[in-house]
Structures are given as C-alpha cells and as structure tokens.
Chain A
Amino acid sequence: MTSALRKHGRWLVPLFLFAIFSGCNPSSGRRDETVFRVNLSTEPPSLDWSLATDHVSFNVIANLMVGLTEFDKNLKPVPVIAKSWDILEGGKKIVFHLRDDVAWSDGKKVRAHDFEYSWKRLLNPKTASEYAYSLFDIVGAEEFNRGTIADESQVGVKAIDDSTLEVLLKSPTSYFLSLTTFEVTYPQRRDVVEKFGSQWTEPEHIVTNGPFLLASWKHENEIQLKANPNYFLGKPAIERVEMYMINETTTALTMYEQGQLDFIDDHSIPALEKPRLAKAPGFKHVPQLRGEYYGFAMDRKPFDDPRVRKAFAMAIDRSVFPRLLQGGQAPSSSWIPPGMLAHNPKIGVPYNPPEARRLLREAGYPDGKGFPQVTFVYNTREDHKTAAEAVQGMWKRNLGVLVRLENLEWKVYLKRLQNDPPHVFRAGWGADYPDPDNFMKLFITGSGNNHPRYKNGRFDQLVEQAARELNEQKRVRVYNEAQKLLCEVDIPIVPLFTIAESTVLNPRYTGLEYNSMSRLLLRDVRLKNK
C-alpha cells in the first residue's frame, strides 16, 4: 500500500482537484428566458391549504390556486371563481354564484360542492386545522369544530347546485368577503384528498385550478411550477417557475447577484445590505399590513397607572426607526395600519418629552426618582434588539428611567407573554385578511392575544359593533372611537411603526406583484420587452 502511494501519490492531489472542480462554472450555461427563479427560503411545511399556516406555504399555494374572490389594488375583494354574490337577510346570508368555465388541472369543473367540502374539512376537528377559527362566523362552525355537533350538515355552508354556494352567518359580518380571499377557503376535491390522504399534495396527485401547476417538489431543495395552459384567465407569460429553499440570506443574495435568482425578498436580504441594495435597479420597499408595538402589563405596578403608560408612550421618538432599521418602516402612532379601512394617522400619542416628564412627575416619579426596577422583554432578533436599545435610551434621556432589557428565544418569549407578561414587551401583528377587525379584535377582553390584559367594556362593544356594521363610513367612525381608547386614553400598547418588505426584482422582468400581506403573485410576470 505504501509503495503504491509512493508511486502514484503525486497524481492523487491533481486528480482529486480535477474531479471536484470539473464543470464548475455556474454562469457558463445560457440563460433560459422562460424560467423565473425565486427563493422561498425554507421548505413549505404544507401545500394543503387546509393545514398551511405560514407565508412560505401560502406563497406557493397562491400561485397554484384561486378562490371565490381575490384582492384588487385597493385590497377590496373582487370576484374570481365567484362571478357575483347576493347579501341577503340583512347580511346574515350570502349566496355566491360561481363561474362555470373554471376547471381543475385534471379537466373537471370547479363546483360549489368543492367549496362546501373544503370549508367543512377545514372545520372538521379531525383535520385539526389551525385556521379553522377563520370560519367561526358561519352558523354551527365553531360547534362543529369543538365537537359539540357531529352532523356537518348543521354547518351553515351548502352547495345548492354546481354553481351556487350558500353561506349562513351567525350575524352580519362586515369582513366575511375578505375572508374568502384567504387561501384556507379555496376549494378542494374530495375524491383526491380521500384517495391519497396526507400525500394528496405531492405533484403526482395534487389537482389545482390556478395559473401554475405543481410540476415537481424536491423536498428541502426545489419546487418547480409550470404554466397552466387551461387557466381560465389565460396562460401566464412565464413558462416555468423555480422556487429554491435557501435559508441563509447572504447565500441567497449572492445567488441573486450571480444571476441565479430573479427575485428576492426580505427573507433573502441581510439587514446590513439593505442600504446598498436600495440603490440597485429593481429595488422596492413594499409596505405591509403589519404593525409593531410595545405593550404594557396593565395589571402590574407601575404600569397600572395610565399616566405612566402615557409618559412612556410620549417619550418615544418614532421617527428614528426608519433610519435605525433601514427596512422602510413607517412610524405610526395609531394601530390600524395604512392601506386598511379606518387607518387614521391623526390618532395616537405624539412625541412630547416635556409632557411625558410632567405626567411621570404627576404619577409620583419626578425625573424618574423612585421608579421601580422594570424589565422590557423582546424576542431574540437583531432589529428588535436595535429598536429596544434605542427606546431604552429615549426613556433614560426623557424620563430618567433605566429599563432593564431581556431577550428571550421565540417560544420561551411566547410562553412568557401568555403566562406572565413582563412590565413592557415588544410584539407585532400581521393581517390574515385586510380588515381592521383583524387588528382590533386582538385587544378585546379575554382575547388570547391580548397580552397587556386590557379590559374596557366600551372598547369591546365598539369592536363588536364595527364587525357587524356593513356601512363603511359608519365602521370608520366606530373604529376611530375604539382606536382613540386604545392609543390615546387607555394606552395598553404603544404602536411604533408598520413594516415594509425589501424586494429586488431583476429589471428585465415586470408584472410581479408582492402584496401588502407578503404574497408573491407570479401570474403576470413577463419579460419587459415582450
């Protein structure tokens, strides 16, 4: 063995190098113009739209499927499979009339029964869907999900015939049409789901009705979509989409800069690179329906005193966040985000250090003297840390109070918020559907997401009233009043800013829509000159 090594050793290293370096030039191949490449960042946890819960899964599903409605540019639900609808019985009954030219990828017609099956599957306790609650406004839905009624025919959704779907609501629900844009309400085929069980979403089994078809799914590696030639709104211009799963932002950005990706979003851009990329062609900040806030534990001293909460809110200069975080954040003192009905930038507590000091003095802590030790908790992430340190500095400077910072791992942090909310904490909220109800319901008494443990009967009443009100102008007035209670009077939370996603699209392409709920829609993508 040693003599052989001696004899041939000199060839081993060059041979090894040749073997691994051969064919290595990634940019030598000719660019295929009909393929559009994006980064999903991770493996989609599920392509079953009754079970999916995350934006990665929904970004794939949103290109494979369409539902009754979708959003227009103003985030209003407009018809897709539903050609029209009738709102009857003062809003307690909605009848959807479906188009009859929409086909599944295996050629069968999309029927109202496919919606009835999908919605009841979502609500079935055995499905154990996390988003089952999104249909709880339907008669019998919550009871069916809880198991108190076993007969699914008592759930208020029924296909009258192939093209008519009737929905019975417990009470008029102003945001219900918005819910029909949500992927979890898309139709499903009973025959396919029941035949293939948990494997029905694999490319060889799945049936879809959207602009693209699922061509292949190499788990943890790549998903390929191909244009659906029979898509009822016309075949997409791009023949094929490749979706990669590159988790590491630096790697993903390198891939884009090498020309191996055509589009990247926030999940593919290192925070430190954002200022540089902001000058690149194709760069965009896309404002999101997602708000960031700091909350106070209202049942713990010293934050049980509204003057202390107001003083802390007034001592925050929100204008620093865009510069600090470099992600296109928009400072906001009100809670309902821009782009949503009832957004009102005039509501909220402005930056006013002298008034903040006065309020704190009035509460018994002149210049912060005698203020007890309080802790501000956030979950581990660089931008949360940056913002928390900046605000800690503002409170020290403007109020004379030194707040102790503590960061926690995500799940530990969630547990802490649920069981024992700290004095002050950071949190955020993103829309599932673009309606203020989604944001305001968070802080009603007893809501599982009401971490400040805010209790105000008037606020609860207003939020309920707005949800049942079908007149938009009246809704806005009711939400204005509720927001004033939340952000100016009681102040369980201090809204800070709404976030934006940084995106970069290869300038050769146009037509990509990245909407304000982080949905990546590719059906209109095309080369600029075509």
Chain B
Amino acid sequence: MGRFLLRRLLHGIIVLWVVATATFGLLRALPGGPFDRDRRLPPEVMANIEAKYHLDETLLKQYVRYVAGILRGDLGPSYKYIDRNVADIILDTLPTSTVLGLLALLSALACSFPLGVAAASHHNRWIDRLCVFLATVGISLPNFVLGAVLIWIFSLQLGWFQAARWGAPGSAVLPAITLGAMPCAQLTYLLRSSLLETLGEDFIRTARAKGVSESLVLFKHAARNSLIPVLTLLGPLLAILVAGSFVVEYVFAIPGMGRFFITAVTDRDYPLIMGVTLVYTAILVCANLLVDVLYSVVDPRMRSR
C-alpha cells in the first residue's frame, strides 16, 4: 500500500508539472495580453508595467521564475487584483468552493441513493420510470438554467431564499441543489443499473433461496457490491464539484474560486489562471487517489493489484 501511494503521488507531481507547463505555454500563445485595454497605454507606461511583472523578460526566464515560485509556494501576484497575491486569493476562496462542493455532493448522495435503490427494486414499474425521468431531467438541464429557474421560483415568487449573499441563512440551499442536480442524476442512473446487474447474480439468488429478507438482500448483499462503479464516479465528481462550480458561483454570487476561472481567462490574468488551474489539478489528483484507497476498502481484491 505504501509503495502504491508513493507511486501515485509521484504520478500526481508529474501531472501537475505537465499541466503547469502546458497552461503557461497556451496562455502565452493566446492573442491579447493582460494589459491590453480599449484605451491603449503610452509606451513608457506599458514598459513600467511590464517591468513590474517581469513581462519584459524572455519566455524561458518567465517560465523558470514561475516554476521556482511554485516550488517556494509563491504563485505570484494577480495582474487584475493589483494588491493581492494569487495564493491569498485562492486561500480566501477555496474554502467556500469546498463547502459548496461538499454540500452539493451530500445533497446528490442523499437524493441519489434512495432514488437508485427505489428504481432498481421496482424495476419496470412506475416508480422506476419516475426515477429515470427525474434523472434524465437532472442530466439534461444545464445548471445555469436550473439555477435561474430555482431563483425565479424560490426567491422571486415564493420569497423563501435570497437570490445571492453567501453566508445569509439558507443561502447554501439553492446553489447546493443546483450544483448537486447533475451528479445526483448520474449517480441515480449508475446505482440503478449497477444494482440491477448485481440483483441478477447467483449469490443474490442463493441468498433469496435461503430465505433472507428482501430488504436485507437489497441493502446488505446487493448495495455493497454495487458501490464500486459509484465510487469510480465519486472521485472525479468530488473534484468537479469542488473546483468546477464556476457557473453556480457566478449565478448565486458565491465568493468561491470558480468565479475567477472565467474572469481570469477573459482578463488574461496569467498567474491567477495558472494558480487556479494548478489547484484544480491537485484536487483532481487527490480525489482520484482517495478513490483508489476507497476501492481497496470496499473490495480487498484491489489491494493485491
């Protein structure tokens, strides 16, 4: 297990380096620089700005400076948020994104588990069809549409929640539901089909033949064996939910990290884009590692592989 973890960790570091290098190269290839404005700056003013941010150096020098900065834990200054460092911005905003992502994951799990089990245990009956319908809606509806619909119903019409203002009572409800809807639908589908497959296996028939009650068959024997594909999805889902919530953060004005991803690209704020990308990558690497560890807990056969 120790060697396995070490190997995965090394892989993770290589992935981070490749992503950092690729992002650096791609950003410099994009047309338009961070200080291009609709009112073009006089050359001397531009030269001062470029000198301040070392943009007057060669690309290689900038790259070396950037990688050395990462190794020191310094992600550089933001070009847009002039008085702040990228690391400060990420430290300020990542906890909010994490809370939102975890709430969304919890709501997705809380809804998908009963829906998936109900659908599989009532296969081809109206409950199954209803669950599949709900899951289809959850997958097809983009979260910016769902967010807007929820704001219209629950904020504007019913007045139950504020449309924004993270931190106010109940402020997490609509964003968590919006962000959790698609993962909930995916998990429901997956759990349903996985359960259906497991319920058709020999050991389930044996259990039923031995007179084990249907609920015990479902929750003890079938559910545990059906969790492995769900776990496979859980790793990337966790990473996507924590890091990929930028649309939801934008719609509900949540002070999370995702909001920066869109605006930083538009502003060509190189250090901020690279910092946010690296954090996303690190989260994805960690989530996948966590899933691998969980695999071996759920299915001990995995440990020997």
Chain A to chain B: the 6 pairs with minimum beta-carbon distance, closest first: A411-B32, A24-B170, A448-B40, A23-B169, A220-B255, A128-B52
Whether the pair B32, A415 counts as a contact (CB closer than 8 A) is: yes
The answer to whether B259 and A220 have CB atoms under 8 Å apart is yes
Beta-carbon contact of B253 and A201 below 8 Å: no
Say yes or no: B165 contacts A244, CB within 8 Å: yes
For A220, the closest partner residue in chain B by CB is: B255
- A428's partner among B38, B156, B165 (CB-CB below 8 A) is B38
| CB neighbours of B156 from chain A (8 A) | 254, 257-258
Seen from chain B, the residues whose Cβ lies within 8 Å of a Cβ on chain A are: 30-33, 35-42, 44-45, 47-49, 51-53, 80-84, 89, 92-93, 103, 106-107, 110, 114, 148, 151-152, 155-156, 159-170, 172-173, 176, 215-216, 219-220, 223-224, 250-253, 255-256, 259, 263, 266, 268
Complex contact B219–A48 (CB within 8 A):
no
Q: Quick check: A260 and B165 within 8 Å, CB to CB?
A: yes
A414-B36 Cα distance, complex, nearest whole Å: 7
Say yes or no: is A12 at the interface (Cβ < 8 Å to chain B). yes
Query: Quick one: given A24-B169, A24-B173, are A251 and B251 in contact (CB under 8 Å)?
Result: yes
The interface stretch among A14-22, A327-335, A512-520 is A14-22
A519 to chain B, nearest CB (A): 18
A44 → B minimal CB distance (Å): 9
Residues A159-206 near B (CB distance < 8 A): 198-199, 201
Give chain B residues whose Cβ lies under 8 Å from the Cβ of A246.
Answer: 164, 253
Closest residue of B by beta carbon distance from A146? B44
**Residues 42 to 88 of chain A near chain B (Cβ within 8 Å):** 42-43, 45-48, 51, 53
Cβ-closest chain A residue relative to B169? A23
Are B167's CB and A221's CB within 8 A? Answer: yes
Cβ-defined contact, B159 with A27, below 8 A: yes
Does chain B have a CB within 8 A of A245? yes
Q: Given A24-B160, A411-B32, 18 more contacts at CB 8 Å?
A: A2-B219, A5-B219, A13-B114, A25-B170, A26-B155, A45-B82, A125-B48, A128-B49, A128-B53, A129-B45, A199-B83, A218-B255, A221-B255, A248-B252, A251-B253, A415-B33, A416-B31, A448-B40
The answer, yes or no, to whether A215 is at the interface (CB within 8 Å) is no
CB of A145 within 8 A of chain B?
yes
Q: How far is the CA of A427 from the CA of B37 in the complex (A)?
A: 12
Q: Is A219 an interface residue (CB 8 A)?
A: yes
Cβ contact within 8 Å between A412 and B32: yes
Nearest Cβ distance between residue B230 and chain A, in whole angstroms? 15
**Contact residues in B for A13 (Cβ distance below 8 Å):** 110, 114
Interface contact A42-B162, CB-CB below 8 Å: no
Give the interface of A toward B (CB within 8 A): 2-3, 5-6, 9, 12-13, 16, 20-27, 42-43, 45-48, 51, 53, 125-130, 132-133, 136, 142, 145-147, 198-199, 201, 218-221, 244-248, 250-252, 254-255, 257-258, 260, 409-416, 418, 427-429, 448-449
Q: Is the CB of B173 within 8 A of A20?
A: yes
* 12 pairs, CB–CB < 8 Å, chain A vs chain B: A20-B103, A43-B81, A51-B82, A145-B48, A220-B259, A244-B253, A245-B253, A250-B148, A254-B152, A255-B165, A257-B156, A260-B165
**Bound state CA distance, A246 and B170, in angstroms?**
17
C-alpha gap A286/B48 in the complex (Å): 36
Chain B residues closer than 8 Å to A416, beta-carbon distance:
31
Name the distance in Å between B95's Cβ and chain A's nearest Cβ.
12
> Which chain A positions have C-beta within 8 A of B159?
25-27, 258
User: Could you tell me the distance in whole angstroms from the C-beta of B37 to the nearest C-beta in chain A?
Assistant: 7
CB contacts (< 8 Å) of B80 on chain A: these are 45
**Closest CB in chain B relative to A138 CB, distance in Å:** 14
Structural contact, A25 and B45, CB atoms closer than 8 A: no
Residues of B within 8 A of A26 (CB): 155, 159-162, 168-170
Closest to B176 in A: A20
A42–B253 CA distance with the chains assembled, in angstroms: 9
Closest to B103 in A: A20
Which one of A53, A129, A411, A427 contacts B266 once the chains associate, using CB atoms below 8 Å? A411
Min CB–CB distance A433 → chain B (angstroms): 13
Contacts A45-B80, A221-B167, A414-B32 given; indicate if A125 touches B255 (C-beta within 8 A).
no
**Shortest Cβ gap from A220 to chain B (Å):** 4
State whether B164 touches A251 (Cβ < 8 A).
Answer: yes
Task: Say whether B83 contacts A251, CB under 8 Å.
Answer: no
- Select from chain A the residue with minimum beta-carbon distance to B114: A13
Q: By the criterion CB–CB under 8 Å, are B219 and A255 in contact? A: no
Bound-state Cα–Cα, A46 to B53, Å: 16
Inside 8 A of B167's CB, which chain A residues have their CB? Answer: 221
Separation of A42 and B250 alpha carbons in the complex (Å): 10
Q: CA–CA, A358 to B242, complex, Å?
A: 63
Known: A26-B161, A247-B259, A257-B156. A128 touches B51 (CB 8 A): yes
Give bound CA distance, A199 to B268, whole Å.
Answer: 23
Most chain A beta-carbon neighbours within 10 Å: one of B37, B148, B176: B37
The answer to whether A254 and B163 touch across the interface, beta carbons within 8 angstroms, is yes
Does the CB pair A414–B82 fall under 8 Å? no
Min CB gap B168→A, angstroms:
7
Known: A51-B82, A244-B253. A22 touches B31 (CB 8 A): no
Partner of B81, one of A12, A45, A244: A45
Q: Which residue of A lies closest to B38 (CB)?
A: A414
Contacts of B166 in A (CB 8 A): 221
**Which residues of A sit under 8 angstroms from B165, Cβ to Cβ?**
244, 255, 260
A6-B215, A42-B263, A414-B32 as given contacts; A48 in contact with B83, CB under 8 Å = yes
- Which B residues lie within 8 Å of A45 (CB)? 80-82
Known: A26-B162, A410-B266, A449-B40. A16 touches B107 (CB 8 A): yes
| Residue of B with least CB distance to A218 | B255
**Interchain CB contact (< 8 A) of B170 among A20, A199, A257, A449:** A20
B303 CB, min distance to chain A CBs, angstroms: 20
Residue of B nearest to A44 (CB): B81
**Contact with A448, one of B42, B164, B250 (Cβ below 8 angstroms):** B42
B219 touching A6, Cβ below 8 Å: yes
**CB-CB nearest in chain B for A43:** B81
- Chain A's closest residue to B80 (CB) is A45
Q: Which residues of A contact B164 (CB under 8 A)?
A: 244, 246, 248, 251-252, 255
The docked-state distance in angstroms from the alpha carbon of A17 to that of B81 is 38
A451 closest partner in B (C-beta): B40
Chain B residues, CB < 8 A from A3: 219-220
From the candidates A43, A130, A255, A409, name the one contacting B45 in the complex (CB within 8 A).
A130
Query: Which chain A residues lie closer than 8 Å to B110 at the CB level?
Result: 12-13, 16
In the complex, are the beta carbons of A22 and B81 less than 8 A apart? no
Closest to B41 in A: A130
- Of chain B, the residue at the smallest CB distance from A53 is B37
Q: Is the CB of A411 within 8 A of B33?
A: yes
Residues on the B chain within 8 Å of A5, using CB: 219
The answer to whether B31 and A415 touch across the interface, beta carbons within 8 angstroms, is yes
A347 to B119, alpha carbons, bound, how many Å? Answer: 73
Minimum CB–CB distance for A11 against chain B, Å: 12
When distances are taken between beta carbons in the complex, the residues of chain A under 8 Å from B48 are 125-129, 132, 145
- Chain A neighbourhood of B37, CB < 8 A: 53, 130, 414
Across-interface contacts of B215 in A (CB, < 8 A) = 6
A148: min CB distance to chain B, Å: 9
